[in-house]
Chains A and B, each alone.
Chain A
Amino acid sequence: MTEHPSELRYTIEHEWVRVEGDGNATIGVTFFAQDQLGDVVYIVLPAVGSTLQAGARMGEIESVKSVSDLFVPVSGEVLETNQDVLDHPERVNEDPHGAGWMLRVRMSDPSEVDRLLTNEQYDSAIAS
């Protein structure tokens, strides 16, 4: 049983993307990532309004044990960052694919999503 829902797409760097009804993308980190990191205690995210290229470093996520870079899976403009997750980084552990979301992006090239991993591809990638 996978912890990674089929309606999301994934990167090998452990971000997920959900394409919303309005065509914008919501981005977060995966169940597997938060489980590996342990207790998340600090998150740095890009400024609202900034424009990012897919694959660019967009911030960092810090747990008690380690710090990791976050990479943006799709190109576009940052519409919103999740203030609740910035104030309460433990949301990432509690609900990584829901309340632990990090940012919403207006995609400049929605076809980029098709190149991301499916949940099955992601699960086999982390299993190897």
Chain B
Amino acid sequence: MTSDSAPLLRTALYDSHVAVGGRMVPFAGWEMPVQYQGVIAEVKAVRSDVGIFDVSHMGRLNVYGSGAASFMDSLVTFSVKTLATGRARYGFILSDSGGILDDVILYHTQFDDGSDLLRLVCNASNRFAVIGWMDQNAAAFPGVTFNDHTYETALIAIQGPRALQVVDGLCIDDPKPSTLRPFAADTFPFDLGDDVHAEGFVGRTGYTGEDGVEIAIDAAHAPRLWEALLAAGAAPCGLGARDVLRLEAGLRLHGSDMDLTTTPLEAALERFVNMDKGIFHGRDALELQEEDGLRRRFVGFRLLGGGVPRHGCAILHEGQFIGEVTSGTYSPILDTGIAMGYVPADHSAPGQTVQIDLRGRPVEAEVAELPFYRRPKTS
């Protein structure tokens, strides 16, 4: 738990951010850059070229030992037993009532000795809740070890149409990171200048709707990797741009768009739930909800008038309250306000109109297909 008085944590890249004018703000117990040159310029850099994000605040846990796959399989909504080495999956850790404790990515890789290693990446704000839930459920898996290595490592996201070209340029061996398919991951050696070489664990994943990778690297080498990426022309991007990019891409944010009171079915993310894989925490509750039918559904909204919808704005239909905006922003690519939130199922069809109350000013909006933005297919 964090409070306003708790000292803020700093990532391995803190000094690098301050050196180039990053504006630092508290976020989930960390001091993080919200912007450098400006949110819109950073969004455009990622959509048209390449941007880099320090996402070292996100939790990184290693899970290994006898029964590690079965243990994680019991905790997440996707199949871990069928997750091949070198692959990653996205899904949820649920409470037994089906509420979303966190959304996570799990990578299946190997230690140098060839034994299996599962790398879990969770939200910064949920790291302790996830570890607590794992502790609580570990008794049946005595051969499993898990440890938190968030502080010893850094995580840098490189995103945009030129991301793989830039990352390949720093890699000193073949094959290059661009040979990874989406949601594949492996370790690659990088040249960080001054004859310094370091290995990074590269996953072809991200949170922007663009092509790109995320690289986990030990904290000591992280500033050099960051500098090398800047030198290759990548724009440093902050949490402000990350929020706009993920919203345009229709990606949910835990703590805003989903939490312990919402299920993956309500969040319209059932494609990340494998009901056929066998038992897991929260499965029974989801089955019941499937039988009962959904009373509310997560949808996107495109504003038809001016203004910016934000978390907590009321969604109205003919003057009646039908829901709340869980995330909203101004979309540079659509040049209009966009929002997401839960509404009753009979108001969730694309094209239906609602009003969003912007501080007492109701503005027309229409239910929109998610994502708002899909990147052009290149090949």
Interface residues of chain A, those whose CB is within 8 Å of chain B, are: 38-39, 41-42, 44, 60, 62, 64-65, 67, 93
Question: Which residues of chain B from 315 to 359 have a CB within 8 Å of any chain A CB?
Answer: 329-330, 337, 359
Interface pair A60/B359, CB less than 8 Å apart: yes
Question: Which residues of chain B from 36 to 64 have a CB within 8 Å of any chain A CB?
Answer: 38-40
The proximity string for B residues 204-244 relative to A, scoring 1 for CB distances below 8 Å and 0 otherwise, is: 00000000000000000000000000000000000010001
Task: From the candidates B40, B307, B310, B337, name the one contacting A39 in the complex (CB within 8 A).
Answer: B40
Interface pair A64/B244, CB less than 8 Å apart: yes
List 11 additional A-B contacts (Cβ < 8 Å) besides A38-B38, A93-B38. A38-B35, A38-B39, A39-B38, A39-B39, A39-B40, A42-B337, A62-B308, A64-B40, A64-B240, A64-B329, A65-B34
| Cβ of A39 to closest chain B Cβ, rounded Å | 4
The proximity string for B residues 355-376 relative to A, scoring 1 for CB distances below 8 Å and 0 otherwise, is: 0000101000000000000000
Interface pair B306/A64, CB less than 8 Å apart: no
Contacts of A65 in B (CB 8 A): 34, 39, 240
CA distance A67 to B308 in the complex (A): 8
CA distance A124 to B368 in the complex (A): 47
Contacts of B307 in A (CB 8 A): 42, 44, 62
Question: Which residues of chain B from 246 to 261 have a CB within 8 Å of any chain A CB?
Answer: none
Given A39-B39, A42-B307, A64–B359 Cβ distance below 8 Å?
no
CA distance A60 to B38 in the complex (A): 20
Interface residues of chain B, those whose CB is within 8 Å of chain A, are: 34-35, 38-40, 240, 244, 306-308, 310, 329-330, 337, 359, 361
Contacts of B337 in A (CB 8 A): 42
| Cβ of B311 to closest chain A Cβ, rounded Å | 12
CA distance A38 to B238 in the complex (A): 12
Interface pair B34/A67, CB less than 8 Å apart: no
Q: What residue of chain B has the Cβ atom nearest to residue A36's Cβ?
A: B23
Q: What residue of chain B has the Cβ atom nearest to residue A39's Cβ?
A: B40
CA distance A31 to B147 in the complex (A): 48
Q: What residue of chain A has the Cβ atom nearest to residue B25's Cβ?
A: A65
Q: What residue of chain B has the Cβ atom nearest to residue A60's Cβ?
A: B359
CA distance A65 to B40 in the complex (A): 11
CA distance A64 to B39 in the complex (A): 7
Interface pair B244/A67, CB less than 8 Å apart: no
| Cβ of B359 to closest chain A Cβ, rounded Å | 7
Interface pair B330/A41, CB less than 8 Å apart: yes
CA distance A36 to B219 in the complex (A): 31
Contacts of A42 in B (CB 8 A): 306-308, 330, 337
> Which 4 A-B residue pairs are closest in the complex by CB-CB distance?
A41-B330, A39-B40, A64-B39, A62-B308
Interface pair B308/A41, CB less than 8 Å apart: yes
17 contacts between A and B (CB under 8 A): A38-B38, A38-B240, A39-B40, A41-B330, A42-B306, A42-B307, A42-B308, A62-B307, A62-B308, A62-B330, A64-B39, A64-B240, A64-B244, A64-B308, A64-B329, A65-B34, A93-B38
